[in-house]
Amino acid sequence: MVRRLVTTSLLLSILTASGASGAAPDKCPAQGGTVRAAMAGSPPTLDFVTSFAAQARDIGVYIYEGLVTIDGNYDVAPQLAERWTTSADGKTYTFHLRKGVKFHDGSPVTAADVVASVERFRAQSPRKADLSMVAGARAVDNGTVEITLSQPSAAFVPLMAYPGPAVAIMPKKLIEGVPAGKLPQSSVIGTGPYRLAEWIPDKHVHLERFAQYTPGPGDPSGYAGRRLACVEHIYFLPVPEVSSRVAGLESGDYDYGQNLPAEAYTRLTGTKGLKTVILKPYYEIVMHLNTQNGALREWKLRRAIQMGLNEDEIMLSAAGDKTLYRLDPSLFFKEQYWHSNIGANRYNEHDVAKAKALVKEGGYDGSPLRIITTSDFQFIYNAALAMESQLRQLGFTTKVQAYDYPTMIDIFRKKRGDWDISYNAFSIRTDPGGFTFVLKSESGYQPYASKDVDALLEKALVERDRKARAKLYEQIQDILYRDIPMIKHGDLFGFDALRDRLQGFEPFYTTPRFWNVWSKDKR
């Protein structure tokens, strides 16, 4: 979470604070080698700005960087900006860029590139509503950017730091005038420690070390600080079948496996040559209910589902082991300042009798509830199947369809008449403003639209007092529990595994970090 908002000059010394990975060498203990990472799915795009798909984020953090990012405590930290200042009225932010930073094509990073990237994000990102407070950006000189806000916002800098879709800085000459979704592969150019070598969709994304990379100062922490590209090549391989990821790890075909099943944890932990890592917090699993189309426009039917679900059973199916999940009603994780138990009286009620009565009162006509989920993430798929079984017990008929994650999201957002329940999982939002694009009506992320929620979101983005902001988000959470556009099942913890020849690996967030990782051999 973001425990502080930087509104005055931020010095680079904050990077010496403790973080997820702690101190690291000034240079790589060993250079070279290749990592073959078995990922849960294939990215729909490598245009990091325009996609909130987890697969795009997993790879985008290697290629791109922003003005600011998050450290190991989920606090704001500098990245391409070495420092920034804020005007007395809180409406003008001046960012001073690090010197000597180059893009992957060898050109220097300038303020004009930053301005073009910020404006592109505001125009094309599905998260553009998060920066609705921005009035404009301009280059003061080659190394200084000024961003003005229409009104003060406590959330502005944390939302600039959020890692996906990120406010990625790209060369102006490559992005100016390019429509959303039309960025050619040759323009996938950032400033990160790795550059794109080759992308063959559904086969691999091949990244190679960027020799001219300029690491940030300070100890590595989260996505911030000194990021060293020690491994020469990284191949991100889409392996949707979780059993294939496990088998490939055991055989040595893969060096890393993502989103592994709980039933494999004990075995992989005891396998010679492998090591397992726990990711906590990881995801909260949610189901969206279609409030605009189909049977669930009727509130009583949504309430019946909310009232009747046994979330413990669903989360056990999703996680596979009681040690890998927890039940919790909040939009925000317990590790965050913003956590709240508001609405807990409507969470995990598991009152089947009352739920069945509401199904009848709601005039349910027996038409199947269309549930869309994804097979890319086994925990999401398992949660959907467990939930579907419970719906049948409540008197609903159902139809489940599984897709790859990008296709599911495309149907969820663009084909609202084709589903009644859709699944997703949210990683940690470093600031509560990160939920703006999920909940605000104009973002179009989900069918739900509420003038009350919109008004509270606007107030929360402006409010500079932290306690007052928290109260506003509590009100939003309360409305969501009453309107029921989505239902949270619980918090999932994840585990990944990797070959022990890879040294220096530390888990953080939901993204594997292979910077500051070196190989004991040159395979």
- Taking the C-alpha atoms of 466, 471, 476 and 482 in order, what is their torsion angle to the nearest 10 degrees? 160
Predicted local distance difference test score (pLDDT) of residue 31: 95
Which two tokens mark 90? 């809180």
In terms of Cβ atoms closer than 10 Å to its own Cβ (0-12, 13-18, 19+), residue 155 is buried
In sequence order, what DSSP letters do the residues of 117-139 get, joined into one string? HHHHHHHH-TTGGGGTTEEEEEE
Predicted local distance difference test score (pLDDT) of residue 30: 95
Contact 132, 68 (CB under 8 A): no
DSSP conformational letter for 108: B
What is the rounded CA–CA span in Å between residue 328 and residue 331? 9
Q: Where are the alpha helices (DSSP H) in 153-230?
A: 156-161, 172-175
Each residue's pLDDT tens digit, 357-405: 999 999 999 999 999 999 988 899 999 999 999 999 999 999 999 999 9
Domain boundaries, the chain: 31-242+501-519, 281-494
CB-facing half-sphere around the CA of 200: CA atoms within 13 A: 5
| φ, ψ of residue 117 in degrees (nearest 5) | -70, -40
What is the rounded CA–CA span in Å between residue 117 and residue 410? 25
Predicted local distance difference test score (pLDDT) of residue 140: 98
In terms of Cβ atoms closer than 10 Å to its own Cβ (0-12, 13-18, 19+), residue 280 is middle
What is the rounded CA–CA span in Å between residue 35 and residue 8? 41
What is the rounded CA–CA span in Å between residue 111 and residue 457? 31
Tens digit of pLDDT at every position of the chain (523 positions): 333 333 333 333 333 333 444 445 689 999 999 999 999 999 999 998 999 888 999 999 999 999 999 998 888 999 999 999 999 999 999 999 999 999 999 999 999 999 999 999 999 999 898 898 999 999 999 999 999 999 888 889 999 999 889 999 999 999 999 998 899 999 999 999 999 999 999 999 999 999 999 999 899 999 999 999 999 999 999 999 999 999 999 999 999 999 898 889 989 999 999 999 988 888 999 999 999 999 999 999 999 999 999 999 999 999 988 889 999 999 999 888 899 999 999 999 999 999 999 999 999 999 999 999 999 888 999 999 999 999 999 999 999 999 999 999 999 999 999 999 999 999 888 888 888 889 999 888 999 999 999 999 989 987 878 899 999 999 999 999 999 999 999 999 989 999 999 999 998 888 899 999 999 887 6
Contact 219, 81 (CB under 8 A): no
* Residues in contact with 152: Cβ distance below 8 Å, sequence separation at least 6, in sequence order: 89, 90, 91, 462, 464
What is the rounded CA–CA span in Å between residue 139 and residue 484? 44
Of the candidate CATH numbers 3.40.50.2300, 3.10.105.10, 3.40.50.300, 1.10.287.130, the domain formed by 281-494 belongs to 3.10.105.10
Closest of 203, 200, 165, 159 to residue 181, by C-alpha? 165
Each residue's pLDDT tens digit, 459-507: 998 787 889 999 999 999 999 999 999 999 999 998 999 999 999 999 8
- Same topology, domains 31-242+501-519 and 281-494? Answer is no
CB burial string 186-202: b at 16+ within 10 A, e below: ebbbbbbbbbbeebeee
DSSP conformational letter for 374: E
What is the rounded CA–CA span in Å between residue 287 and residue 387? 9
User: pTM for this one?
Assistant: 0.75
Predicted local distance difference test score (pLDDT) of residue 10: 38
Q: Distance of alpha carbon 489 from its chain centroid, rounded?
A: 18
Tell whether domain 31-242+501-519 is in CATH 3.40.190.10.
yes
What is the rounded CA–CA span in Å between residue 254 and residue 523? 12
Reduce the DSSP state of residue 2 to 3 states and report it: coil
Reduce the DSSP state of residue 465 to 3 states and report it: coil
Sign of CA pseudo-dihedral 503, 505, 511, 516: negative
Helices 299-308 and 352-361 cross at an angle (nearest 10°) of 170
* Residues in contact with 142: Cβ distance below 8 Å, sequence separation at least 6, in sequence order: 110, 111, 112
Predicted local distance difference test score (pLDDT) of residue 73: 80
